[in-house]
Structure 1
C-alpha cells in the first residue's frame, strides 16, 4: 500500500490524522501479507512482513511520544505532574528528602548553633 518508506524524521513532521491513515494502510498491508503467508505466497512477500511490522511500531512510538510531549508541555512549570512524566530514579531516591527539607533546622538546633559556635582546631607540628 505505501509506495515509499517513511523515515522517522518524516513521520514526526506529519500530523495526527496523516499518521493514523498511514497506520491503517500498513495494518491492511500486513493483513494481506499474512493471508498470502497462509496460502503459500511468494518469498519476497513473506520477507516484507518484518519491515511492515517495524514500520507500524515506529508510527505507534511516534504517536505516543507526541502525545507525551504535549502533556508534558501542558504541565510545564506546575508543581504536580502525572506519574509517567516524573523522573523514574530509584524508590529510595524518590522518597528521599528534598534539598529544602534537608536544610530546615529545628528551633532547638538553631539555639545550639547560636550558643555553641563550632570549634576550630589548629594543628601545629
Structure 2
C-alpha cells in the first residue's frame, strides 16, 4: 500500500492532507516458467482446492451449480456488453468449475477403488496403467508354477552343497 501526501502530487501542490490508496500488483511471476505475467486487477480470488477436499458431495454439487449459474450470467453480460470486470471474471469462474469437477471425479474414483478392492475383476480405467509389456507379463504366481516332472527332478537331484578344504 502506498501512502502519499497531496503535496507530493503534481496536480494539487500546497495541500497538506494525507490520503491512502492501494494499487493492484502490476505483474506476478509464474512459478513454473519463471516468466513475468501481467496480473488481472479485476480477478477475485477463488476458493483453494485444498478447502474443496474437505467438503461433502452435496456441498460440492451446490457450489458447482452456483458457479455454473454465475458463468451463464457472465456470458450473457458479455453478449449484452457488460463491464470489463465481468468479462475478466469468466476465466476465474471456469477455472473454479474445473477445480470442483476435479475434486468430485477424484472422490468418485476413490470410492470405486474401495468398492472393487477385494473383487476378482476391476474396471479397466481403475487398473494400473503401466506399460503394455508389463501388463502382458505373467503374474508372480504364474511365473513360479513348476510342472510335476520338474518338481520331481528338483527333489531327487537338489543343488549340491560342497566346500573346498583349505
In the superposition, the TM-score normalised over structure 2's length comes to: 0.63
Q: Which residue of 1 aligns with 2:92?
A: 51
- Which of these two proteins has the greater Rg computed from alpha carbons? 2
Structure with the bigger percentage of strand: 2
For 1:98, the equivalent position in structure 2 comes to 139
Number of equivalenced pairs? 121
The Cα offsets for residues 6-30 of structure 1, whole Å up to 9 and x where unpaired, read as 2212212111111111111111111
- 1:39 equivalent to 2:109? Answer no
**Residue aligned with 2:47, SS:** coil
Partners of 1:94 and 1:4 lie apart in 2 by 44
Tell me, in whole angstroms, the C-alpha distance in 1 between the residues paired with 2:73 and 2:60: 20
- Could you tell me whether the CA contact under 8 Å between 2:57 and 2:104 is conserved in 1? yes
* Aligned-residue RMSD, C-alpha: 2.4
* SS of equivalent residue, structure 2 residue 53: helix
- Deviation digits for residues 74-114 of structure 1, max 9, x if unmatched? 22233322222110112221121011111111123234444
Q: 2:125 aligns with which of 84, 96, 109?
A: 84
Change (3 A) 1:21 1:4: farther
Q: Which moved more, 1:96-105 or 1:111-120?
A: 111-120
Structure 2 residues not aligned, in runs of 5+: 1-43
CA shift for structure 1 position 33: 0.9
CA distance in 1, matches of 2:143, 2:114: 30
Partner of 2:10: none
* Relative contact order higher in (CA < 8 Å, ≥ 6 apart): 1
Aligned counterparts, 1:8-47, within 5 A? 8-47=49-88
TM-score, with length taken from structure 1: 0.81
Higher helix share: 1
What stretches of structure 1 of length at least 5 have no aligned partner?
none
